[in-house]
A and B are shown apart, each in its own frame.
Chain A
């Protein structure tokens, strides 16, 4: 068996050294009858056989490479430079553990420091951690952090928040019966959350752009939060947007949570992704997750270590700020490499292209009879209303070999008001030809 290091002779010699007659003697503490069960599973296979099996599975999916593709809603298709995948597969990154021994982990620690800096910069915040599982779990952790800081319990959740984020927050809060107020679904982007903030409100969680694509200035909401002593948590699901639009930090956010997948991480059917978590320096000791910090070594040379660990589960145990241990290290590396390749000029240009193409498609769709683009201001994603239920339209587009968007009913099942809503996303990967095919196909199926 190709992955195992011992030969039969080795095994015999090792058992002899140990002083037992057979391998099962080492399992003598296992209760009677529980050892060596019969397992109804196939035997081992070679690489070729395994590859064949996965190739067959892959063929049962429609790959976005093969069709015009317009899906987003929290996960985005972007081009990933070849260098990213090459570098993250280097043994020293891929097959190392959490950098608890800093002398032989400076590679991991330095890129985490660079990651934290990049995340702070683009979100417009003072500090960021070394990653969370994904955007939704970052949002849930932000609510808990706001509760610790404000010593209040209630969370107000915007009606423009991605439902997966809303539900992930709710599940965690339910465990301790904490109150949360989910505002009504806000398709038009006109909600006024300030009326829901009271002196029990720990935080308001709002997504920008909203799940329906609406881009908003959150400055007045930030002021309303501040006036009532609540924190403003801003969620960003499409991180490339911050190459072009005003970052949450500049609008007064106290905590920014984001999905970092758009930079360097493939779609991979929903995971693994990388949660970004940034905040103000004064809140740093209430942050969840790992933090990498700069220091010096014994010879006075700059080096990096995991720090402020007394917040974390391996030291603080039941009083830790979070239970998170494993995070999204390698995805954070992919993010850091891709962001380094882009640089200021690249990220800005990438965001301009995404927005420009989205504007082009919005104009084409607006010109169609019965179709309306919902958000006034948007980045690369927007909701449209159709004259018919969107889910059926999406199925008909599949027959025409087009993946046309995410129907509102997929995200908000049972909400009649969103039955005719379709979320459409355009990125740099979409050609003008793709857009024309979508418009032509829509004309046929509407």
Chain B
């Protein structure tokens, strides 16, 4: 049932001292109203010419009445969004140790390349002869991805990791169908990302969990017991969500293949092995690659991403349209008419803007640099593990891969929860690590420092966590500090229960935007 165990209403600890300013601002931390509470009629942030004086051809469907959008000048709009930006943490501002998310440096060269005239502004349906450069970008990136993974084919159109999972399962379903083999079950470890079971369900499969061994890997005996003629595939993350390499992965692949099923690998953690290990050498059939993780196209506050899927020989014929092929006059795009393809997954051809960024990143690193990425990310995570193992509680023996997993045993009897510990990190100037995931350990804390950090930066981070762990263990007044954290942020802990019980999902005319008085609200 509730395996996450975190409070969702703020703790009733003492309020932080109010700044006591007239505005509610605290120096550089400025309060900012909603855009709808600021605008006025008769103002706009764009200058447009008069519309041509023609008789309209709208067939009587002209909009009646106002839309309700506010009018603002350009400086008002800029100030609004700059102030909003100042309420966000970011990788550019500090270490962002979110396990399983790979928050690495996002080079600005990538942004510049994606905006070049001729790349950022081309239309997806231009004649093929006028987009040879764009198709070459896709083809070149595909070559890098196939080489790095040791796989023969790659489907480029999936828009994100979960969309890539969908692509992989659709290809598997098509391959099974082609051999007249209807299968209904997908096996996935209990520690899997939520997207794995959700994707399997979208494809009509039931999901059967596989337990883990005490050392955090797939339990081979349990796997063998679950395999059968109705199993379509296993979905396995490698390195897994506990930050460990599945050392029996080849055995897993053999067992799965022997049962006539396919091996889908969740590539969310590819950063640990890029340039160092080719998943194709391990027996997998499909794997998505999160370009927004491993290849640094930015996360952008939640997207957009891109999730190309590498495919084995047994699946490649079923890949989605469109795809790029080499024709006699250069590159061409197969958009339809492939009877084996399982079909189309989205509009147009894929996340081109992300392809350009990822390719710029790969070219900057080269084969040598990418291998170094894997090595340094694994080195940093193990360094964190070694530096904290005496004071926090690592869930598994090392070495880990690119992320180190801790649980809340070190907080036992302190009254401090994983959530409190994470929130206290915020006051220290850090984004918390991933908390309460994976679900297989209690009060999980998953730390992924990435290769972007200098040793000084990792040392400061480690010392901060050590200090917090000591404070938690010392107890006394410290408990209240943890429970009240964060105190130094634009907002303190938010009432998620209230948000979910009576959802307010948009501004409405008439809501005046005055801060809600807590006493009146309760």
Please say whether the chains A and B touch (CB closer than 8 A): yes
Asked if B477 CB lies within 8 Å of chain A CBs, one says: no
The answer on a CB contact under 8 Å between A57 and B300 is no
The answer on a CB contact under 8 Å between B278 and A403 is no
Overall SS of chain B's interface: loop
In the complex, residue of chain A having the shortest beta-carbon distance to the beta carbon of B160: A326
Q: A61-B132, A164-B344, A342-B44 are known contacts. Are A245 and B299 too (CB-CB below 8 A)? A: no
The answer on a CB contact under 8 Å between A326 and B343 is no
The answer on a CB contact under 8 Å between B144 and A41 is yes
Smallest CB separation, A277 vs chain B (Å): 12
Q: A269-B352, A297-B492 are known contacts. Are A17 and B383 too (CB-CB below 8 A)? A: yes
B147 / chain A contacts, CB cutoff of 8 Å: 39-41
Q: A318-B207, A347-B67 are known contacts. Are A327 and B10 too (CB-CB below 8 A)? A: no
A window 346-369: CB within 8 A of B: 346-350, 352-353, 355-357, 359-360, 362-363
Asked if B499 CB lies within 8 Å of chain A CBs, one says: yes
B325 / chain A contacts, CB cutoff of 8 Å: none
In the complex, residue of chain A having the shortest beta-carbon distance to the beta carbon of B498: A295
A64 to B437, CA, bound (A): 46
B165 / chain A contacts, CB cutoff of 8 Å: 323
The answer on a CB contact under 8 Å between B87 and A106 is yes
A130 to B505, CA, bound (A): 10
Digitize A363-407: 1 where CB-to-B-CB distance is under 8 Å, 0 elsewhere: 100000000000011110000000000000011001000010010
Smallest CB separation, B506 vs chain A (Å): 4
Asked if B22 CB lies within 8 Å of chain A CBs, one says: no
A50 / chain B contacts, CB cutoff of 8 Å: 109, 113, 360, 363-364
Asked if A133 CB lies within 8 Å of chain B CBs, one says: yes
B window 495-522: CB within 8 A of A: 495-496, 498-500, 503-507, 513, 515-519, 521
**A-B CB pair tally, cutoff 8 Å:** 736
The answer on a CB contact under 8 Å between A87 and B500 is no
A-B contact pairs, 16 of them (CB 8 A): A1-B365, A3-B365, A20-B382, A34-B281, A54-B119, A61-B118, A104-B89, A105-B89, A164-B344, A323-B166, A331-B304, A356-B51, A359-B55, A377-B59, A377-B61, A414-B336
The answer on a CB contact under 8 Å between B34 and A110 is yes
The answer on a CB contact under 8 Å between A316 and B198 is yes
The answer on a CB contact under 8 Å between A346 and B34 is no
Indicate the member of B197, B246, B506 with the most A CB atoms within 10 Å. B506
In the complex, residue of chain A having the shortest beta-carbon distance to the beta carbon of B136: A57
Asked if B446 CB lies within 8 Å of chain A CBs, one says: no
The answer on a CB contact under 8 Å between A103 and B494 is yes
B window 7-62: CB within 8 A of A: 10-11, 15-16, 18, 24, 32, 34-36, 39, 41-46, 48-49, 51-62
B35 / chain A contacts, CB cutoff of 8 Å: 114, 336, 340
B489 / chain A contacts, CB cutoff of 8 Å: 103-104
The answer on a CB contact under 8 Å between A403 and B130 is yes
Asked if A439 CB lies within 8 Å of chain B CBs, one says: no
Smallest CB separation, B71 vs chain A (Å): 4
Q: A23-B375, A294-B504, A298-B10 are known contacts. Are A87 and B346 too (CB-CB below 8 A)? A: no
The answer on a CB contact under 8 Å between B244 and A29 is yes
Indicate the member of A4, A87, A120, A362 with the most B CB atoms within 10 Å. A4
A44 to B506, CA, bound (A): 47
A10 / chain B contacts, CB cutoff of 8 Å: 454-455
The answer on a CB contact under 8 Å between B87 and A327 is no
